[in-house]
Structure 1
Amino acid sequence: MQSWNQVYRTLATRSHQLPNRLQGATVSVRTYSDKAQIDADVTVVGSGPGGYVAAIKAAQLGFKTVCVEKNPTLGGTCLNVGCIPSKALLNNSYLYHQANGKDFESRGIEISGITLNLEKMMSQKSGAVKALTGGIAHLFKQNKVTHVNGYGKITGKNQVTATAEDGSMQVINSKNILIATGSEVTPFPGIEVDEDTVVSSTGALDLKKVPEHLIVIGAGVIGVELGSVWQRLGSKVTAVEFLGHVGGLGIDMEIAKNFQRILQKQGIKFKLGTKVMGATKRPDGQIDVAVEAAAGGKNETLTCDVLLVCIGRRPFTRNLGLDTVGLELDNRGRIPVNNRFQTKVPSIYAIGDVIAGPMLAHKAEDEGIICVEGMAGGAVHIDYNCVPSVVYTHPEVAWVGKTEEQLKEEGIPYKVGKFPFAANSRAKTNADTDGLVKILGHKETDRILGAHILGSGAGEIINEAALAMEYGASCEDVARVCHAHPVSYTLLKHNETPFQKVVVKAQAATGLYEWLCTVCVCVQFCLILISANKINAVMIQNSRDV
C-alpha cells in the first residue's frame, strides 16, 4: 500500500492532466540565501495554521513552495500568542484552582500550603509554544518548504517581495500566491494598549503578577477564556459586554444563559448590555473605566489595576500591496474570494481570517489544504455549517451547525432534544455535572441541524456531531450506534454521551424520535455514516487510480 506522501507525489506528477493545474515538480532542499530572487510554484504569505499547513501540503503535492513570515517564529497568532499559550494557561490555572479550592478536598485529597509560582507556570506555557513552533520549522525542512523571514508584500500578480528587519529584500517570483496573513487585535477607540496595565489578549497571556481586579472589555470567547484564567489564579474579574449575553456571536441563547450562570457561580461578574465610554489611568496606577447601559442610562465608574481589551479581531491586510494588483477589500476589511479561494486576480488566493467566515484556526487549516488541492486540479469543497466552535473554559462550550434562534428566523421546522450532564453516570462519578447537551433535528427528515454542548470535554465531544452533520446523518443514525459505557469525556475516540442512551421503542409514544437521539457523541458512529454520502475529500477522489 502506498504512503500518503507517495500518493501526493503521484498526483503532482500527473497534474498536467488536471484542470486549474500548477506545473509543479518534486524538488530537493535548496538554499536561497545567496540569491536575489527565488522562483516558486506557490508562495504562501503567513505561517499561521492556514499558511503553514497549506505550504506543507503544496510541497507534498510536488510544488516548489516558499512560505514568507514576518515574525521570527513560525505558527502565527495561534501558536505564539493565541490558541496554544491560552490553552496552557487555561489548563494550569484549572489545576491550581482545583488544588487550592475545595475541589480536591471534597474528593478526599487534602493538600496544605498550596502556592502559585506564576513564573514557572508561564515558563511551562512558553516551553509548549517553543516546541510546537520548532516543530513547524522541522516540518518545513522535512517537506522541502523554503522559509523566508520578512514582511511579505505583493509587488505583482506573480511576485512577492519579503523585507527583513535589516532592510534587505528578497524577491519571489511565483506562479501562484496564497495570502494567509491571519488577523490582529481590534483596537478600542480612545483606549491605548500598552501591554502592561492596559493589555490585549497578547499581554494578558504574559502578565508578571496576578491582578487584584481585572476588568475585561468583551465577554466573547477570548474574554471569558482569559477572564477564567485570572479568576482561578486569584483575580476579581468583571466582564463588560455590549451584547446581552456571554459567549459572543454564534452561541445558542439557552446555552449562553446556562454558561453565564456557571461562570457567575465560579466568581466572574458580568455587566451585560453595557458599553465602555473610556478609560483613565490614575496617578496611583489604578484604571478608572467609565461604562453606561448600551440603551442609554446613568454612567458608572469601575476601577481595576489591569484592563483587558478584547472586543474581537480584524483581518490583517495592512501593507500587503493589494492595491498594486487591483484587489479591494469588502466593507469588513476582508479579501473577497470565489469558491476556489481565488481573488479576482486568478493567480492570487486567500484563506483564513482574511476572508469571510469565522476566525478559527481549524477553519483556516481546512481552507489551506483544500485551496492547494484545488490548485492541483482537485475538487474544492467545505461546508461551513459543519465547522465547530469551542470555548475552552471549564466547563467547555462547543457547537456546530444552526442555533435554535437561526432555525426560527429561517423558518426551518425542527425538533429539540436536551439532556443534563447531571443525569449522566460518568459526570456523576467525576463530580463534574454542570452543563447540558442540546441537539436540533429537522422535524420532517430527522437530519441533524445543530449540536450545542455545555459541559466537561465539550470540545472533544462536538467532533462526532460535526462528522455526523458532514455526512448527512439523521438523529436515528447516531442513536443506533452502540457507545462505550462509561468512558472519559476528554478522549477523542472514547467520549461518552452526556445522555443516557434511550432505546427507540421506549420513545415511540412521545412522537417520532422526539428525544435526543444524537447525544451519544463518539467517533465510533462513522461505521453507520460511511454509506450516507460520498466522501468529498480531494485526496480520496484524486487517488482512486493510484
Structure 2
Amino acid sequence: MQYDVIVIGSGPGGYVAAIRAAQLGLKTACIEKYSTFGGTCLNVGCIPSKALLDSSEHYHNAAHTFKTHGINLDNLSVDFGQMIKRKNEVVAQTTGGISFLFKKNRITSYQGHGSFVDKNTIKIKKTDGSEETITGKNVIIATGSKPSALPFIKIDKKRIITSTEALTLPEVPKHLILIGGGVIGLELGSVYARLGAKVSVIEFMDGIIPTMDKALGKELQKVLTKLGMEFYLGHKVTGATVKGKEVTVTFDNPKGEKQELKGDYCLVAVGRVAYTDGLGLENIGLTVEERGRKITVDEHLETSVKGVYAIGDVIRGAMLAHKAEDEGTLVAEQIAGQKPHINYNLIPGVVYTWPEVASVGYTEEQLKESGTKYKIGSFPFKASGRARASMDTDGFVKVLADTETDEILGVHMIGPRAADMIAEAVTAMEYRASAEDVSRMSHAHPTYTEAMREACLAATENRAIHI
C-alpha cells in the first residue's frame, strides 16, 4: 500500500500529525505497536495521572476542607479499587476517541511494530507474528519516550516502580519513597500523599521542579510540605533493594554522609528517555545522540534523510504532549506545502499538583544570566477574592517584563487553575503584549485570572490595586 504520509506512533504528536495530514488531503497511515492508540500520554501518562489527581483531590478536600464549608461527612474512606476503575474508564474513553477520529478522517491504522526497510518502506510486525510492508512518500517518527532508569537500581515493577506501575498499584502505599523531584514524581507523589501515604522525596538538585523558575519550586515545596511530604534536597541516591514487602533506599547527604529510608514502595521518577529501539534507523543511515537517544532534526524537523521527519519526545526540547502536537501539525502542514512556525519559548510547562504550577517564557534566572534588564510584578492569591472564596489562597502570579519596552518576557504562576490560566500569558506573549496591555484588559470579577492582571499592574509602575 502506498501513502503520502506514514506516521510511526499514535501518541499526541503522532495522532495529531496523522489527522492534520489527512485534513490536508494527504493519504495517511498510522502505525501503533500497542493495542490502543494515544501513546504514553493517553494510556499511562497525562490522562490517567490527571484522573487520579482529581480523585485524590476530591478525597483530600472532603477530609480537610468540607467541614469549613459547612459540609459534614461521617465514615469517610477511600475505595482505591473504584478510583483505579474510574481512571481506567477515562483512559478507555479517551483512547477510543482517537479510533473514532481516525475513522472520521479516513486514516488507515495498523497495529504492530513499525521499522524502516528503507526511507520509504516500513515493515510492520504484528502481534500475531505476521508481517506487512507499506510504502510512503514521507515518514514521521513519533514513537515518544519511556521512563529513565538508574543503572544501579533494578526496577522490579512491583516494589521498585516507574510512573507506569504507579498508576495501577494494588493499594495506597504506607510509605512511598520518591526518587526525583520533577514534574512526574511530584504529581504522583501528591496523589498518594492526599490519600494518606507518607511520601519522602529524594532529589539530587537543590530544589524541586529545577527546570522552572526557582520561586515556583520554593512555593510548591512549602505547599507539599503542608500536605505531609518530606524532602531531601541535594541528596544523591546510591541504591535501592527489596526484601519481602520492604524497600530500602540508600543515599548520600550534601556532606557525603550515608543515609537510608525504608518504605513499602519506591517510585523512580528521574525523567524519560526517547524510545527509538527497533526502528531500523541504521537501515536508512540515521543514528541517535548518545545522551537521551534523541534523533537529530533541522529547523523543519526533518532528519538528515529527506522525507523522514521526527517529532515529540524523540527530538530535542521539552518532553511535553502539547509540544509534540504542535510539531505534528507543523510537519503535516510543511509536507502539504504550507509554511507554519513554532515559537518554542512560548510552549508552556505545567505541574498538575494542587495548587497547579504553570510557566511560559524566560525564567528570572535566565534573564539574569543573559543580562536582560527586567522588572517584576507579583500578586499573591491570598489577596484574591475568588481564591479566598474557594479556600485556594496558596501561591502567586509572577510577571517578568522588559524594563524599557514593558514587553512580557515570562510568566510564572502557582495557584488554583494555573494550568488553564497560563493560556492568557501565552496569548499575550504570542502577540508581544506589554504588561500594561494586559493590565488594561477587563478581567471578570471575581476570577482567578484577576491575579494575572494585578501582577501586570504591579510590573507597570507598581500599580497593583489589591495589595
Q: Does the TM-score normalized on the shorter chain lie above 0.5?
A: yes
- Return the alpha-carbon distance in structure 1 between the equivalents of residues 150 and 187 of structure 2: 19
Q: Structure 2 residue aligned with 1:84, among 47, 51, 55?
A: 47
Conserved? CA contact 1:340–1:380, under 8 Å: no
- Return the alpha-carbon distance in structure 2 between the equivalents of residues 515 and 233 of structure 1: 42
| CA displacement 1:78-116 (0-9 Å, x = unmatched) | 00000000000000001011112x311111111011111
Aligned to 1:219: 181
Shift of 1:501: 4.3
Shift of 1:330: 2.4
Q: Does 1:44 align with 2:3?
A: no
Taking the TM superposition and a 5 Å limit, the aligned residue runs for 1:298-447 are 298-332=257-291, 333-447=293-407
| CA displacement 1:49-78 (0-9 Å, x = unmatched) | 000010011111111101000000000000
- Return the alpha-carbon distance in structure 2 between the equivalents of residues 57 and 290 of structure 1: 49
Shift of 1:514: 3.2
| CA displacement 1:273-300 (0-9 Å, x = unmatched) | 0111001112x4211111112x451101
Shift of 1:483: 1.0
- Return the alpha-carbon distance in structure 2 between the equivalents of residues 479 and 68 of structure 1: 47
| CA displacement 1:96-140 (0-9 Å, x = unmatched) | 11112x311111111011111111111110000000100100110
- Return the alpha-carbon distance in structure 2 between the equivalents of residues 516 and 76 of structure 1: 47
- Return the alpha-carbon distance in structure 2 between the equivalents of residues 502 and 268 of structure 1: 30
Identical positions, percent: 49
- Return the alpha-carbon distance in structure 2 between the equivalents of residues 58 and 296 of structure 1: 55
Q: Does 1:515 align with 2:462?
A: yes
Cα distance 1:482–1:149, how it changes in 2: closer, same or farther (>3 A)?
A: same
Shift of 1:503: 10
The DSSP-based 3-state class of the residue aligned with 1:104 is: coil
Conserved? CA contact 2:377–2:400, under 8 Å: yes
Conserved? CA contact 1:417–1:516, under 8 Å: no
Conserved? CA contact 1:448–1:472, under 8 Å: yes
Conserved? CA contact 1:421–1:499, under 8 Å: no
| CA displacement 1:182-202 (0-9 Å, x = unmatched) | 001101212222221111000
The DSSP-based 3-state class of the residue aligned with 1:177 is: strand
Aligned to 1:127: 89
- Return the alpha-carbon distance in structure 2 between the equivalents of residues 358 and 516 of structure 1: 35
Conserved? CA contact 2:5–2:28, under 8 Å: yes
Aligned to 1:498: 451
Aligned to 2:122: 160
Cα distance 1:502–1:463, how it changes in 2: closer, same or farther (>3 A)?
A: closer
Aligned to 1:97: 60
The DSSP-based 3-state class of the residue aligned with 1:79 is: helix
- Return the alpha-carbon distance in structure 1 between the equivalents of residues 183 and 101 of structure 2: 30
Cα distance 1:502–1:66, how it changes in 2: closer, same or farther (>3 A)?
A: closer
Conserved? CA contact 1:179–1:351, under 8 Å: yes
- Return the alpha-carbon distance in structure 1 between the equivalents of residues 295 and 152 of structure 2: 27
Question: What is the TM-score when the length of structure 2 is the normalising length?
Answer: 0.97
Conserved? CA contact 1:56–1:145, under 8 Å: yes
Moved over 4 A (4+): 499-504
| CA displacement 1:130-186 (0-9 Å, x = unmatched) | 001001001101100000000010110111111011211111111000000000110
How many residues of Structure 1 are paired with residues of Structure 2 in the alignment? 465
- Return the alpha-carbon distance in structure 2 between the equivalents of residues 193 and 95 of structure 1: 31
Shift of 1:248: 3.5
Conserved? CA contact 1:186–1:312, under 8 Å: yes
Conserved? CA contact 2:8–2:140, under 8 Å: yes
Taking the TM superposition and a 5 Å limit, the aligned residue runs for 1:137-286 are 137-249=99-211, 251-282=212-243, 284-286=244-246
The one-letter amino acid paired with 1:90 is L
Question: What is the TM-score when the length of structure 1 is the normalising length?
Answer: 0.83
- Return the alpha-carbon distance in structure 2 between the equivalents of residues 120 and 194 of structure 1: 25
Q: Structure 2 residue aligned with 1:56, among 19, 25, 42?
A: 19
Shift of 1:231: 0.6
Structure 2 unaligned runs (5+)?
A: none
Shift of 1:498: 2.0
Shift of 1:516: 7.4
Shift of 1:499: 5.5
The worse-fitting range, judged by mean Cα deviation, of 330-339 and 450-459 is 330-339
The DSSP-based 3-state class of the residue aligned with 2:47 is: helix
The one-letter amino acid paired with 2:149 is P
Structure 1 unaligned runs (5+)?
A: 1-37, 490-495, 520-546
| CA displacement 1:447-492 (0-9 Å, x = unmatched) | 11000001011001001101111111111111111111113x4xxx
Conserved? CA contact 1:289–1:301, under 8 Å: yes
Conserved? CA contact 2:354–2:416, under 8 Å: yes
Conserved? CA contact 2:345–2:360, under 8 Å: yes
Cα distance 1:499–1:67, how it changes in 2: closer, same or farther (>3 A)?
A: closer
- Return the alpha-carbon distance in structure 2 between the equivalents of residues 322 and 135 of structure 1: 31
Shift of 1:266: 1.0
Cα distance 1:454–1:224, how it changes in 2: closer, same or farther (>3 A)?
A: same
Shift of 1:502: 8.7
- Return the alpha-carbon distance in structure 2 between the equivalents of residues 499 and 51 of structure 1: 34
Shift of 1:500: 6.8
Shift of 1:435: 0.3
Shift of 1:339: 1.4
The CA RMSD over aligned residues, in Å, is 1.7
The one-letter amino acid paired with 2:32 is E
The DSSP-based 3-state class of the residue aligned with 2:441 is: coil
| CA displacement 1:358-410 (0-9 Å, x = unmatched) | 00000000000011001111113100100001000000000000000000001
Cα distance 1:500–1:461, how it changes in 2: closer, same or farther (>3 A)?
A: closer
- Return the alpha-carbon distance in structure 2 between the equivalents of residues 152 and 108 of structure 1: 57
Conserved? CA contact 1:240–1:271, under 8 Å: yes
- Return the alpha-carbon distance in structure 2 between the equivalents of residues 417 and 206 of structure 1: 42
